[in-house]
Amino acid sequence: MRLNGAGKSLDLTRPCVMGVLNITPDSFSDGGRYLQVADALPRAEAMVTEGAAIIDIGGESTRPGAPLVSLQEELDRVLPVVERLARDLPILISIDTSKPEVMREALKAGAGLINDVRALRLPGALEVLAANRDAVVCLMHMRGEPGTMQQEPRYTDVVTEIRAFLSERIQACEMAGIGRERILVDPGFGFGKTLAHNLSLLRHLNRFVDLAAGVIAGLSRKSMIGALLDAPVGERVSGSLAAAVLAAWQGARIIRSHDVRETVQALRVCAAALAAD
């Protein structure tokens, strides 16, 4: 299976890594480090050297309790970086946004993947993707909004309910003319889930594999890792790698990570085991 976006192709026959590049002052892990193109480009180049297959650029933090960012501020943050990276790097560039206007302008600037925590639910978002047939989308599940999503999240059956939500969003995409070969899904670890919910999703991630072209798992350095290890953000690499391998073993084909080199190495071992007789 190959994924194609903005003229760049991605092999999904084995797990690969999406490197995280936050162009924000307040993201939970690397906020404030890559606000300028002069800082973001070397980091992106380093991630490519380390083996990243995708760079995911975000201009608005979606950590629990994060404030909203205006349209113009998000555009000002991400467009120069998207344009430069799409021009200079050989890999797929992703834009992490929910705003249709940011999607549209980022695609014009060379992005090939839209990574939307709201699963194209904002007015106009579906139309942007339907109009651009050379773009891929990741539909993610989030309960509520970043400001409120961790306020007593409850599910009767977290896996079944999130699978149903993603299936409904895929149907909405198909009705708009966006085929499943252009759709990825992400159950949204940490986005309106307790630790128990997150662990159940990880244990049963294989139940999402048949929904679309592939599954993205974003577990890197998240609070669930911190809770399990009693570790601050900067000391969650080993736990994140364990979660990445478990996700890949359950069928995830794209692992979103802040620690690209280590994750690429761990997934190579995992892929070799999966391919063995």
Q: How far is CA 223 from the centre of its chain?
A: 16
Catalytic status, residue 108: no
Of the residues 8, 143, 182, 256, only one is catalytic, namely 256
Of the residues 99, 193, 221, 222, only one is catalytic, namely 222
Q: What is the DSSP letter of 62?
A: -
Catalytic status, residue 8: no
Which of 81, 75, 199, 176 is closest to 123 using CA atoms?
A: 176
Q: 84: Cβ–Cβ under 8 A, 6 or more apart, which residues?
A: 37, 40, 41
Q: 113: Cβ–Cβ under 8 A, 6 or more apart, which residues?
A: 5, 54, 56, 92, 93, 94, 95, 135, 136, 137, 138, 184
Residue 17 · residue 51 · CB < 8 Å: yes
In whole angstroms, give the CA distance from residue 215 to residue 217.
Answer: 7
Beta-bridge mates of residue 9: 4
Which residues have a catalytic role annotated? 222, 256
